[in-house]
Amino acid sequence: MIKKIYILSITAILVGCVPLKQFEEVTAENEQLEQTAELATKENNALKVQTDELAAKLEHYQNKVELLVQDTARLARQYKRLQYRYDDLNKNYADVLNGLKTRSNSDVNNQKLLTYLQQLQENLQKREDELVLAEQALAQKQRSLEQAQRELTEAEAQLRQQNQRLIELEELLTRKDEAMRTLKQTINDALTGFSGDELQVHMKNGKVYVSLEEKLLFESGKYTVNQHGVSALQKIAGVLEQNNDVDILVEGHTDNVPYNGRGDLKDNWDLSVKRATSVVRILLENSSISPRRITAAGRSKYIPVLEGSTPAALQKNRRTEVILTPRWVEVLELLELDK
C-alpha cells in the first residue's frame, strides 16, 4: 500500500511590522502550498478507491467472460448435435424418396408412404428451425463474448495504468521522504561542533526543523546574531546551497514575558520578526541560496514549545526555527496527468 502522504501545512505567517504587501504575498503562497498538500492527500485516497473499484470491475468481467465461454462451448456442442440429427433426417428423407422411385405402385402402400414422408419432412423442417435458432444463439453468445473480452481488456489496461500511477506516486513520496532524512543527517553532521542545548534537528510531518536556542544566536532582548551563531548559520547555509529542492521558512519565537520596548522594538512581535530577518540575512550572505526560496516570519509568544512560565519553559520557548519543506512540483505534475 501506498505510504502516507505527508501533509504540507505551513501555518499563516504573522509578520508584525513587515509591510502589508509582503504579508499578503507570503500568506497567499502558504495557502497555495496547503492546498497542494491537501490535493495530494485527496488524490492519493481517490486513487486507492478507484483501484479497488477497477479490481472489482475486473473480477466482474473475468467471471462474465468465464460464463460466456462455458455457454458458448455448450451451445457449440448443442449446435453440433443438431447438425448431426439434421443430416441424419435429411439422409432418411432422401432414402425414402429414392425408395419410392424404385418401387412400383402395386408393391407399396402409397398412402402410408406419403404419410411417413410428410411426417419425416415436418421433422426435418423442425430440426432445421432448431438448427437456425441454435446457430443464431451461438452467434449472439460469440458477439457477447467478444464484447466482454474487449471490456475486460480495457479494464485490465485501466487497472494497470492506475496501478502504475500509484506506484509512481508512492516512489515519488518515498524519494521525498528519503531526501529529507538525508538532509536532516547532513545538517546534523555539519553541526557536530554544537551542543544539544544550543540547537536540535528533527523531522515532523515530512519537514526538517532546525531549532536554534536564543543563547546560541542572540543576547537577551537583542536581534543581532553573535559570532558563534553566525558560524552555525553559515554551516546550515552551506548545506542548503546543495539542496535546491527545499523551501526555507525562518520563524522567530519569544517567551511570554512582555517586552519593554526599547529603541526601534515595541514588543515581542517586533523582536521575533527582527530575529527571523537577521537569520535570513546571514543565510543569504555570501551564499548561492535563492531569496525566492526563503521566508522570514515572526511568531512572538504564541507557539511555545513548553507551556508555563518556569525558567526552563521560558528558555526553551526563546528560539529561532529554520523549517525546511520539500517542494511538491513533481507531485503536482503527476496529479495533473489524471485531469
Average pLDDT over residues 30-48: 69
Cross-strand partners of 222 = none
**pLDDT score recorded for residue 158:** 84
Q: Is 299 helix (H, G, I), strand (E, B) or coil?
A: coil
- Per-residue pLDDT band at 319 (split at 50, 70, 90): very high
Asked if pLDDT for residue 73 goes beyond 50, the answer is yes
Average pLDDT over the chain reads 80
Residue 88 pLDDT > 90: no
Confidence of residue 2 (pLDDT cuts 50, 70, 90): very low
In this predicted structure, what is the pLDDT of residue 335?
61
Torsion of Cα atoms, 56 then 58 then 60 then 61, to 10°: 170
Q: Which amino acid is at 260?
A: N
The DSSP secondary structure of 5-70, one letter per residue, reads PPP---PPP--TTS-HHHHHHHHHHHHHHHHHHHHHHHHHHHHHHHHHHHHHHHHHHHHHHHHHHH
pLDDT tens for each residue of 215-231:
999 999 999 999 999 99
- Residue 4: per-residue pLDDT: 40
Q: Starting at the edge strand that comes first in sequence, how are the strands of the sheet with 199-204 ordered?
A: 199-204, 207-213, 319-326, 246-253, 294-298
pTM of the predicted model, to two decimals?
A: 0.58
Q: What is the pLDDT of residue 42?
A: 73
pLDDT band (50, 70, 90) for residue 330: low
At residue 6 the predicted structure's pLDDT band, cuts being 50, 70 and 90, is: very low
Query: Nearest 5°: CA angle at 74, between 71 and 79?
Result: 120
DSSP class per residue in 60-129: HHHHHHHHHHHHHHHHHHHHHHHHHHHHHHHHHHHHHHHHHHHS-GGGS-HHHHHHHHHHHHHHHHHHHH
The DSSP secondary-structure symbol of 203 reads E
Highest mean predicted confidence (pLDDT) among 32-41, 100-109, 119-128, 305-314: 305-314
